[in-house]
Chains A and B, each alone.
Chain A
Amino acid sequence: MSEGEMARLMEEVEEKKKLIGTIRNKPWRMKRRLVQLREAQQFVDKFEGALGKGKGRKWYAYKVMMTKKWIKFQRDFENFRTACIPWERKIKEVESHFGSSVASYFIFLRWMYGMNLVLFGFTFGLVVIPEVLMGLPYGSIPRKTVPRAEQPTAQDYSVLMDFNGYCKYSVLFYGYYNNQRTIGVLKFRLPLSYLMVGIGTFGYSLMVVIRTMAKNADVGGGDGGEGEFTFAWKMFTSWDYLIGNSETADNKFASITTSFKESIVDEQENQKDENIHLRRFLRVLANFLITCSLGGSGYLIYFVVKRSQDFASRDDLSWYEKNELELIMSLLGLVCPPLFETIAELEDYHPRIALKWQLGRIFALFLGNLYTFLFALFDEVNTKLEEEQAIQNASIWAMKEYYANYTRLLNDSESTPPPMDPSDVIRGPCWETAVGIEFVKLTVSDIQVTYLTILIGDFARAVIVRFLNYCWCWDLEAGFPSYGEFDISGNVLGLVFNQGMIWMGAFYAPGLVGINVLRLLSSMYYQCWAVMATNVPHERVFKASKSNNFYMGLLLLILFLSLLPVVYTIMTLPPSFDCGPFSGKVKMFDVIMETIDLDLPAFMGTLFSYAANPGLIIPAVLLMVLAIYYLNSVSEAYKNSNLELKKKMQMARDEEKNRRNNMDSTNQVMKDLEDLMPNQSLAPPAPPPEPEKTPEPETKPVKTKPGKGVNLQKDVALASPNPGAQRPVSRPPGPRGQGPGAGPGRGRGRGVPPR
């Protein structure tokens, strides 16, 4: 064989090999594919031997197999990872019945659960467990023992429910922890660890919230780009062909219907007309009413706080009077949101915007409540601090008396008297534990109120409506009261504020995080059940805004607000003298100074003292402010360029649309240009065979002729590489008058050979 022939043969073999590789992708019928494949394989077999490269096929088959295995492995791993996400199926079920905004609450709940779990891990592992395992046991030192006076009642249920008695003197609260610098064999520095965990809780939460916000901001990107092809995609790509279970199919049908309804609502909102003046007046009225209610609630709390300060001096309190403050706060949180919602009906906003307003108002309500509560607490703390001075002197005096009595009674001044029994030592008021108890009580009462609300407000209501409907004069299900709808804003804010209280209280009550984890876990199951069993979908179903950054923003704000009181107390208030890991120090953060002096090498101490110099800190703060300003302007620039690009894309798409429609271009500049150069219109010349286009065989014979003729036609037409490109103009004028050489491409389109 000559060189040229060899080369040509190699080329053909390569071509055949390529055909074998891509034969799957061709839109041919199976029969044709098999025939072509066999041909190509025979050719390759015959001539590859001649060219001496016989191993190609085996290697190729091996490669294909490995690729398939790799794809399968990746898919299995993805499945495993998705299966590990907890409650995914539950949330999908809720989503398909109630829409994405209700489901977004549950997704938020799940995220919070994850974060609290991590915080719980830190607190438990680094503070509670070391104290329990390596610290002194219960009853050995005064702070860990129930005082003699309280011992008879320490096990009573009512006392325990108030978190006094044995609860108060346990690992749940700050007061239990010992102030030994190092404990156990491992020389674990508990006070340092306590402080670090307290600060680390805030640091970790801050990091996680900001990271989630940043991730959502990427995905969100505003409502600009998502407008393309919304309905078309929903129609053609929403059904998941993999579904084989009838229940899943039902859910999917429900979710598709809901999703269409959401888009329809969005579309209709864009088309609504408005009567502006009436709307404005109603909105002003509504805002005025709501400000009045907020003011009213603030005054109520102030009043109750004053009363509770009076109660503090009395001893004979009923259960109601003892818990009045917490009860009133929870009840306000219960009654005001529906009130705001009713007033907000005057405003007539799009549901998504109305939800945001509602959230904002409830936020203001809860914020007022929380800070009033905090001020009440601070009053109490200050009182206790004053008490402490007096008690400190008294306890030292009592100790001296005890020793004096002892030596007197035994007439032996040589031996050292045994230490006083721990339960007899006079105890200081320990304000940190008191604060911790207040937060725990508030959290518990919040949990109780929430669960009871769901039980009565949703479940009992559903039961009554369902069963009383048989014997009632009007239709309970359609009119008042009917079934409840899931209150998204109330629940989200409840969750956010609950988290705020946990952040504030976790420093004084390490057990609070554990209680919260249990609460979130049970809340997930309970609320999922309640929503599926007792709620109906909202009348106006709307899509949650793509970015959940609104909820995250609220959470961030609450995080800062909870940080403030804790940091203030750490920095300014003196720790109690006889309880907690910082007892005996002047300020709580002295622990850090101590650690730097004693544990770290000498030069670190001098380094830190330099770093704490104001002359260094002020320039550092200035530098950070400048960095923030710079980053801000950079992000503004990026946003602007994004908008420009989007506009360009939109313009290009419109241009193409107009061009294909053979209409004049809508761009003013192009129009002006056209006027200047009228013969060079942008639209392609209308093809002369326009009227003959219709009878042409775009209408393929519906009656299918047996035999290969029709199929081949279909294949060719569908497999044409550029189905919509600018080719129509090049078609010759008429189907008739074609010479036999008119080209195979033409003739086959009709099945009638041109004569």
Chain B
Amino acid sequence: MDYTNDPECKLPLALIVNMPELNENPFRSRIVESFSEDGMGNLSFNEFVDMFSVLSEMAPRELKAIYAFKIYDFNVDNYLCKEDLEKTLNKLTKEELTPEEVELVCEKTIEEADLDGDHKLSFADFENMISRAPDFLSTFHIRI
């Protein structure tokens, strides 16, 4: 990294996800990717600060909801479809649930939160659901 000639450097994904704060998080790759401009997970300094600012406790709920939606949207199509939910669940449980149980949970989640009936969660559905969650603010928080 040559800082004198090229001050605008970008850190690669592999380096950032090894940070102690992110190391144990199952969604670490997705977190970094959502804040990177090129979508590949390379962060410039501004983006790095942005990431930790959104994840800090001072960030408002709406802002966190926006970025939470982006993080859980694995195929980046602006909807949380069934595959996204399945991937989320498998990351959360380290694939300990049987396929039937995974199927059941994803079905139930879509059933609970989907308001417009298209069998996937748009940002509106997500926001409606997450704004009522009692521990969203306390769990979606990294201290640095």
Q: Is B26 part of the binding interface, using a Cβ–Cβ cutoff of 8 Å? A: yes
Among residues 231 to 258 in chain A, which have CB atoms less than 8 Å away from a CB atom of chain B?
231-233, 235-246, 248-249, 253, 256-257
Q: Is A314 part of the binding interface, using a Cβ–Cβ cutoff of 8 Å? A: no
Q: Are B20 and A244 in contact (CB under 8 A)?
A: yes
B 91-129 binary contact with A (CB < 8 Å = 1; else 0):
011101100010011001100110111000011111111
Q: Are B133 and A237 in contact (CB under 8 A)?
A: yes
- Please tell me which one of the listed residues A233, A241, A248, A723 contacts residue B55 in the complex, with CB atoms under 8 A apart: A241
Q: Are B112 and A24 in contact (CB under 8 A)?
A: no
Q: Are B94 and A237 in contact (CB under 8 A)?
A: no
Q: Are A660 and B77 in contact (CB under 8 A)?
A: no
Q: Is B2 part of the binding interface, using a Cβ–Cβ cutoff of 8 Å? A: no
Q: Is A261 part of the binding interface, using a Cβ–Cβ cutoff of 8 Å? A: yes
Q: Is B14 part of the binding interface, using a Cβ–Cβ cutoff of 8 Å? A: no
Give Cα distance in the complex from A698 to B73, angstroms: 14
Q: Are A236 and B63 in contact (CB under 8 A)?
A: no
Give Cα distance in the complex from A248 to B46, angstroms: 31
Q: Are B77 and A699 in contact (CB under 8 A)?
A: yes
Q: Is A3 part of the binding interface, using a Cβ–Cβ cutoff of 8 Å? A: no
Q: Are A264 and B127 in contact (CB under 8 A)?
A: no
- Please tell me which one of the listed residues A25, A239, A249 contacts residue B63 in the complex, with CB atoms under 8 A apart: A25
Q: Which residues of B contact A718 (CB under 8 A)?
A: 66, 123
Q: Which residues of A contact B59 (CB under 8 A)?
A: 24-25
Q: Which residues of A contact B38 (CB under 8 A)?
A: 704, 706
Q: Which residues of A contact B112 (CB under 8 A)?
A: 228-232
Q: Are A723 and B127 in contact (CB under 8 A)?
A: yes
Q: Is A27 part of the binding interface, using a Cβ–Cβ cutoff of 8 Å? A: yes
Q: Is B12 part of the binding interface, using a Cβ–Cβ cutoff of 8 Å? A: no
Q: Are A238 and B132 in contact (CB under 8 A)?
A: no
Q: Which residues of B contact A261 (CB under 8 A)?
A: 97, 101
* Cβ distance A695 to chain B, nearest Cβ, rounded Å: 14
Q: Are A236 and B94 in contact (CB under 8 A)?
A: no
Give Cα distance in the complex from A245 to B140, angstroms: 17
How many A-B Cβ pairs are below 8 Å? 147
Q: Are A244 and B24 in contact (CB under 8 A)?
A: yes
> In the complex where A260-B93, A661-B116 touch, is A246 in contact with B24 (Cβ < 8 A)?
yes
B 50-71 binary contact with A (CB < 8 Å = 1; else 0):
1001010111101100111000
- Please tell me which one of the listed residues A242, A260, A724 contacts residue B105 in the complex, with CB atoms under 8 A apart: A260
State the majority secondary structure of interface residues on A.
Answer: helix
Q: Are A241 and B139 in contact (CB under 8 A)?
A: yes
Task: Supply 20 A–B pairs (Cβ within 8 Å), ascending by A.
Answer: A24-B58, A24-B59, A27-B63, A229-B129, A235-B109, A236-B129, A237-B136, A242-B143, A244-B24, A246-B24, A253-B94, A257-B93, A260-B89, A260-B97, A264-B105, A656-B115, A699-B77, A704-B38, A718-B123, A724-B124
Give Cα distance in the complex from A656 to B127, angstroms: 15
Q: Which residues of B contact A31 (CB under 8 A)?
A: 46
Q: Are B132 and A228 in contact (CB under 8 A)?
A: yes
Q: Are B78 and A231 in contact (CB under 8 A)?
A: no
* Cβ distance B34 to chain A, nearest Cβ, rounded Å: 11
Q: Which residues of A contact B68 (CB under 8 A)?
A: 236
Q: Give 3 nearest A-B pairs by CB, closest first.
A: A724-B124, A30-B46, A249-B24
Q: Which residues of B contact A267 (CB under 8 A)?
A: 104, 108
Q: Is A413 part of the binding interface, using a Cβ–Cβ cutoff of 8 Å? A: no
Among residues 31 to 88 in chain B, which have CB atoms less than 8 Å away from a CB atom of chain A?
37-39, 46-47, 49-50, 53, 55, 57-60, 62-63, 66-68, 72, 76-78, 85, 88
- Please tell me which one of the listed residues A34, A232, A237 contacts residue B109 in the complex, with CB atoms under 8 A apart: A232
Give Cα distance in the complex from A702 to B73, angstroms: 13
Q: Are A241 and B78 in contact (CB under 8 A)?
A: no
Q: Is A700 part of the binding interface, using a Cβ–Cβ cutoff of 8 Å? A: yes
Q: Which residues of A contact B133 (CB under 8 A)?
A: 229, 233, 236-237
Give Cα distance in the complex from A191 to B89, angstroms: 66
Q: Which residues of A contact B132 (CB under 8 A)?
A: 228-229
* Cβ distance A707 to chain B, nearest Cβ, rounded Å: 10
* Cβ distance B8 to chain A, nearest Cβ, rounded Å: 11
Q: Which residues of A contact B105 (CB under 8 A)?
A: 231, 235, 260, 263-264
* Cβ distance B66 to chain A, nearest Cβ, rounded Å: 5
- Please tell me which one of the listed residues A246, A253, A661 contacts residue B93 in the complex, with CB atoms under 8 A apart: A253
Chain A residue, CB-CB nearest to B31: A241
Interface centre among B21, B112, B143 (most CB of A within 10 A): B112
Give Cα distance in the complex from A79 to B111, angstroms: 38
Chain A residue, CB-CB nearest to B88: A235
Q: Is B141 part of the binding interface, using a Cβ–Cβ cutoff of 8 Å? A: yes
Q: Are B117 and A661 in contact (CB under 8 A)?
A: yes
Give Cα distance in the complex from A662 to B115, angstroms: 11
Among residues 412 to 456 in chain A, which have CB atoms less than 8 Å away from a CB atom of chain B?
none
Among residues 647 to 670 in chain A, which have CB atoms less than 8 Å away from a CB atom of chain B?
656-657, 660-663
A 702-723 binary contact with B (CB < 8 Å = 1; else 0):
1010100001000000100001
* Cβ distance B95 to chain A, nearest Cβ, rounded Å: 10
- Please tell me which one of the listed residues B72, B104, B123 contacts residue A236 in the complex, with CB atoms under 8 A apart: B72
Give Cα distance in the complex from A242 to B25, angstroms: 9
Q: Is B17 part of the binding interface, using a Cβ–Cβ cutoff of 8 Å? A: no
Give Cα distance in the complex from A231 to B107, angstroms: 9
Q: Are B92 and A238 in contact (CB under 8 A)?
A: yes
Chain A residue, CB-CB nearest to B125: A724
Q: Are B93 and A236 in contact (CB under 8 A)?
A: no
Q: Which residues of B contact A253 (CB under 8 A)?
A: 92-94, 96
Q: Which residues of B contact A232 (CB under 8 A)?
A: 109, 112-113, 129
* Cβ distance A299 to chain B, nearest Cβ, rounded Å: 48
Q: Are A239 and B46 in contact (CB under 8 A)?
A: no
Q: Is A29 part of the binding interface, using a Cβ–Cβ cutoff of 8 Å? A: yes
Q: Which residues of A contact B58 (CB under 8 A)?
A: 24
Question: What would 17 more interface pairs be, CB under 8 Å, given A27-B63, A242-B139?
Answer: A24-B53, A24-B59, A30-B50, A231-B105, A237-B139, A239-B26, A239-B27, A241-B141, A243-B25, A244-B20, A253-B94, A256-B92, A263-B105, A660-B117, A663-B117, A723-B123, A724-B127
Q: Which residues of A contact B117 (CB under 8 A)?
A: 660-663
* Cβ distance B68 to chain A, nearest Cβ, rounded Å: 7
A 1-42 binary contact with B (CB < 8 Å = 1; else 0):
000000000000000000000001101011100100000000
* Cβ distance B44 to chain A, nearest Cβ, rounded Å: 8
Q: Are A702 and B128 in contact (CB under 8 A)?
A: no
> In the complex where A30-B49, A235-B105, A260-B101 touch, is A244 in contact with B113 (Cβ < 8 A)?
no
> In the complex where A27-B63, A29-B46 touch, is A243 in contact with B77 (Cβ < 8 A)?
no
Q: Which residues of A contact B77 (CB under 8 A)?
A: 699, 702
Q: Which residues of A contact B140 (CB under 8 A)?
A: 237, 241
* Cβ distance B19 to chain A, nearest Cβ, rounded Å: 9
A 349-364 binary contact with B (CB < 8 Å = 1; else 0):
0000000000000000
Give Cα distance in the complex from A724 to B62, angstroms: 14
Q: Is B11 part of the binding interface, using a Cβ–Cβ cutoff of 8 Å? A: no
Give Cα distance in the complex from A649 to B42, angstroms: 46
Chain B residue, CB-CB nearest to A68: B58
Q: Which residues of B contact A240 (CB under 8 A)?
A: 139
Give Cα distance in the complex from A236 to B92, angstroms: 9
